Chain A
Amino acid sequence: MSEAVQDLGPDIDPRIFDSEEFQKDPFPVYKALRDHHPIFHDRFHNRWIISRYWDVDGAFQDSDSFDRAMYKPDGPYDFGSRHIFGPNILEYGNSDEHRRLRNITAGQFIGQKLQDFIPMIHQISDEVIDQFIDDGEVELVKQFASQVPIRVISNMLGFPREDEDTFVEWYQLLIAGLGFGGEHLERGLQARNDMWDYIDPMITERTKNPGEDLLSRLCVAELAGSRMSREEVKGFVALLLAAGGDTTEKAIANMWYHLLYTRPDQLQDVVDNADLWENVFTEMMRYDPVVHAQFRYTTREIPIHNDVIPERAGVILYLGAGNRDERAFNDPDTFDIHRDDLHMGRENRSGRYKDKKNGHLGFGIGQHFCMGYSMARQESAIACSKLAARIKKPKVKFGEHPGISSPSIDSGGFRSPDELWMEFGQ
């Protein structure tokens, strides 16, 4: 009897999910969820929460039962035309439309097509580093992490270099709009419209005379004779700023944060061996990934852990919690770039690996697995190794750091430090 009572574990007050404390350090709550409430009915927010590694994996794999978009009684999906990115791949749940858009675009970010852009990533990284290398110190978020990915995207799209700073400005306004709402959102939408006006004639031109740039490739890419419409190309470019730019920016900042503050004893290992930057990327994506939560809607009743999630219920998948699950990783709360129980190489959409190790859940799995996975990994590793190669004895400027946080974990807000100062010799 006493054991059964103990199994219920500590109650979780669902208001914790809205607290600042949770945005900063959600991990104790994640552990309470995994250990005592593997399926948690959060009546306050009207949703269900899944937190164990294999349960999160199972929900990602079963996208027929856990749909990314809400479906309507009379039609497939419920999403408005007012969405900030316009028509885009993220809003089409499990439909053929999603598969079509994904297959047209995904191929642009892997394999040889990605390799075509690698020399440019090296060049942009060096240009950004040139701006602060003589200072002996750098604020990594503003001067480094937030500069590289967006300039890379601008060049991938084939925008003229003299327009690059304007493009960076649109990016910052759009991202601020997504993060803060209100008047920021108004300015963000204006920036998006300015960008759409800017690329509209380019789409016409490059559809007629395509080059090797990404915008041309998006205009003419075909799948079974089908191309993206003009509106879909515009929507995809806007999406690329947030999904490809902002995420990679946060990833780079988090990698340095963990080496400077979480495991300073492993920083020198990476400085000595640049190959280890991919391990830093992988372990960061496990230990504290940029995105912690994904939302799904059930399309049927789901029996799980002696409970039943009803049909059409909202479900939060805490991949940030699954990544810390003792059932999947030894000593999960330790950040260790030499970890031998984590698949360290390139991620698979299946979440299954030949080395039989478990992978991190940071890119999701299955139907909606991040299609920028390969680019994010390579770009982060290149930018970081370029910087490490040009500095000596990197160290923190301030002994104390307020830590990393998210504007809202449950809304998919990205986790990252606001500022990250580093000193170095040359």
Chain B
Amino acid sequence: MKVKIDKDKCYMSGECYYNHPELFEMGEDGYPVVLVDDINDDAMRKHADEAIEVCPAVAISIET
């Protein structure tokens, strides 16, 4: 599973990278960068699900 960021929707609120630094970091341009290529354990999946929930721009999704 991969975590995708929709850059058109994202407005750089930062909620994903401040809440889940295990999975995201701020890129040079302010958009999030996904740090884990392939999500295959439950802990990381939980971070991804929470990030999707707190993203105010609804810009994060999981692609299977």
Residues of chain A touching chain B, judged by Cβ–Cβ distance below 8 Å, are 61, 99, 103, 107, 110-111, 224, 348-354, 366-367, 369
Contact = CB atoms under 8 A, between A and B. Distances in A.
Contacts of A349: 13-15, 18
B12 interface: yes
Nearest to A365: B14
**Most chain-B CB neighbours within 10 Å: which of A61, A110, A352?**
A352
B11 A348 contact: yes
A352 B18 contact: no
Interface string B1-20: 00000000001111101110
Contact of B12 (A99, A111, A352): A352
Contacts of B26: 61, 350, 352
Chain B contact-residue range equals 10 to 19
B30 A350 contact: yes
Contacts of B56: 110-111
Contact of B18 (A110, A224, A354, A366): A366
A99 B19 contact: yes
A223 B12 CA distance: 23
Determine chain A's interface SS by DSSP, over half rule: loop
Contacts of B63: none
Contacts of B18: 349-350, 366-367, 369
Nearest to B32: A350
B54 interface: yes
B29 interface: yes
**Most chain-B CB neighbours within 10 Å: which of A99, A354, A366, A367?**
A354
A265 to B, nearest CB: 33
Contacts of A107: 54
A103 B30 CA distance: 21
Contacts of A366: 14, 18
Contacts of A61: 26
30 contacts: A99-B19, A103-B19, A103-B54, A107-B54, A111-B56, A224-B50, A348-B11, A348-B14, A349-B13, A349-B14, A349-B15, A349-B18, A350-B13, A350-B14, A350-B26, A350-B30, A352-B12, A352-B14, A352-B26, A352-B29, A352-B30, A353-B11, A353-B12, A353-B30, A354-B12, A366-B14, A366-B18, A367-B18, A369-B14, A369-B18
